[in-house]
Structure 1
Amino acid sequence: MRDERLADGWDVNAGAWIQWTRRGLDSYSSHKVAFLPLIPPPGRLTVDVGAGEGRVSRELRARGHRVLAIDRSPTMTRSAATHPDVPVPAVVADAVSLPLPDAVADCAVAFMCLHDMDDVVPAIREVGRILVDGGRFVIAIAHPLSSAGRFDQDTTDENPPFVIRDSYTAPRHFTTVRTREDLSMTYHGIHRPLQTYTDALTAAGFVIEQLREHSAEDPTNKWSRIPSFLHLVCRSGAGTAVHVDV
């Protein structure tokens, strides 16, 4: 049994994450170009689940959405609510127990957080509870292929092979430390096969409308060969034929 929950690891590193994101040291600036257009037009309420320091919430608010940011980390939530330029309404809550009544939102977003949650199945079910019938749940996760393996670091090949040394199908926790400029950031996550997410979505009454794999556009970048991110657009309310746009 592990010593700490994933959420605890993220809360410990919240201060570093806030600096990391606000200095643009991750891939968000390019990633959002593919993700944000998948989000439907503003409705009565959009809930940003696992909102972190609020960057997606700020983007949505600029596009006219009435947004509520929710995150388990008090530090992250406070940072979202007190942003110097675009503060957003934000509350501290666990994704498995959202502080909202049934069928109150017409859109929910989970950007790069489901693979950082210990209890992803009940979290997805809880999102289904707060959405109206026909509401959209728009998701970005680390692509399960990318989290299953890594490019071989024991070769001098300029085009190294991507190697999965452990099981793709078995969930496993990982910790990744990245250093850029004068900052160090520790990522805590869990690799899960794609079926874990699709089964949880189906069980929660979602229909998958779009599934897109996002890779680096630069053909000289090795990550153009392996998708880094997976985007899903899901509709609440089963009973309609599934259409998958790959």
Structure 2
Amino acid sequence: MRSHLAEGWDANAAAWIEWTRRGLDSYRTHKLAFLPLIPRPGRLTVDIGAGEGRVSRELRASGHRVLAIDRSPTMTRAAATHPEEPVPAVVADATQLPLPDAAADCAVAFMCLHDIDDVVPAIAEAGRILAPDGKLVLAIVHPLNSAGHFEPDGSFVIPDAYTQARHYATTRTRDDLSMTYHGIHRPLQTYTEAIADAGLVIERLREYGSDDPADKWYRVPLFLHIVASRPAVGSG
């Protein structure tokens, strides 16, 4: 199955690896809100859309047995051959995870689901590999963020229908590097319905933005964090 978003990210993989390893994205602050949502280590934690392995390395350092999964061969190789903290990593599509049913206690999808063309089957796969009481912990670009933009006068504009999915590519330049993000805007309901259809129950939904009232992103959330669980057998 062809994936336009995966192809875009693989084409920019070398730039992304350098971009994130030099700390030019928001991860250093964003992770402080996200990582505490991940449960204690269990049998297996699967890092879906792991990229070059930054979350996997954090999880291994805190005692998790981690398997990193990404569709990009370049990203996966970078995760597996990190010079200081290599992680077990395999190339696979998020819609066809190479694991049996109920194999994992936790599935993490950090800032990747909005970069996946077929997000509904990807969430279904995350649900499939979770054991009873297992958790799916995800972070995405907040749908308000991906729906609109700030004008020079400070107003926030949503130029097209919030409810309609659409692809986007955003290029950012910092220091001497340029990085293009490929993603797809989807309304929040797309994610919440997919989570419900996967047999998972949302436990937490948190919006993340700036803590600085002078920052424009204090007014509009940047990211969305969700924790969902597979009910234990016989619960309810």
Sort the TM-score into its range (normalised by shorter chain): over 0.9
1:181 corresponds, among 175, 184, 187, to 175
Offset of residue 240 of structure 1: 5.9
Match of 1:193 in 2: 187
Match of 1:162 among 143, 156, 159: 156
3-state DSSP of counterpart to 1:146:
helix
After TM superposition, the structure 1 = structure 2 runs for residues 97-116 of structure 1, keeping only pairs within 5 Å, are 97-116=96-115
Q: Percent identity?
A: 72
Q: Determine if contact 1:42/1:65 at 8 Å carries over to the other structure.
A: yes
For 1:219 and 1:240, the matched residues in 2 are separated by 43
Matched, 1:11 2:5: no
1:50-83: CA deviation from partner (whole Å, max 9, x where unpaired): 0000000000000000000000000000000000
Q: Find runs of 4+ consecutive structure 1 residues off by over 4 angstroms.
A: 238-241
Contact residue 207 and residue 240 of structure 1 kept, 8 A: no
Report deviation, 1:161.
1.1
Deviation readout 1:110-161 (Å, 9 max, x if unpaired) = 00000000000000001111110110000000000110000013x3xxxx11
Paired letter, 1:148:
A
Aligned partners of 1:149, 1:119: CA distance in 2, in Å? 22
Unaligned runs of 5+ in 1: 242-246
2:3, 2:117 within 8 Å by CA — same for their partners in 1?
no
Superposed CA RMSD in Å reads: 1.3
Separation (CA, whole Å) in 2 of partners of 1:79 and 1:46: 19
Shift in CA distance, 226/178, structure 1 to aligned 2, threshold 3 Å = same
Aligned residues: 234
**1:165 Cα deviation after fit:** 1.1
Instruction: Give the aligned partner of residue 87 of structure 1.
Output: 86
Task: Measure the CA separation in 1 of the matches of 2:3 and 2:49.
Answer: 18
| Amino acid in structure 1 at the alignment position of 2:12 | N
Query: Structure 2 length as normaliser, TM-score?
Result: 0.97
Unaligned runs of 5+ in 2: none
